[in-house]
Amino acid sequence: MTQLPFKRQTVDMETGKVTATDTVSFNILPPPADTCQECGVKHDPAQPHNAQSLHYQYSFYAKNDGRWPTWIDAMAHCSEEVREHWTAELTRLGVDVAGGKIAP
């Protein structure tokens, strides 16, 4: 089990102002042993991680100072040929890969 740190803000509901900020953590269970340990999905290691997987999103967020992953991040370990193919297909489906979107 991995602890994931997150920034928590307390907001005054009347004024909308942040009254406190601290770091809290929650646990995320490991993905099944027969899946990719980064994204929790079965895929060929030469292919991208599933950028839409909640396991991938929250693990990435915690490891990258509160930044959510993009398809570019999910494809970072792939060959140029694989990245080009996935980028073309995702773009064809309406995903703005260069703009950091993970869904149309």
- pLDDT by residue (tens digit) across 54-79? 999 999 988 898 899 999 999 999 99
Residue 1 confidence (pLDDT): 75
Structural domain contains residue 51: yes
Q: At 91, give phi and psi (nearest 5°).
A: -65, -40
DSSP 8: E
Q: At 85, give phi and psi (nearest 5°).
A: -65, -50
Structural domain contains residue 5: no
Other CB atoms within 10 Å distance of the CB of residue 38: 19
Higher pLDDT, 4 or 23: 23
Which residue type, as a one-letter code, is found at position 75? M
Structural domain contains residue 103: no
Distance separating alpha carbons of residues 61 and 32, to the nearest angstrom: 20
> What predicted TM-score, i.e. pTM, was given to this entire model?
0.81
What total number of domains does the chain contain?
1
pLDDT averaged over every residue in the chain: 94
Structural domain contains residue 24: no
Containing structural domain, residue 50: 31-92
Structural domain contains residue 58: yes
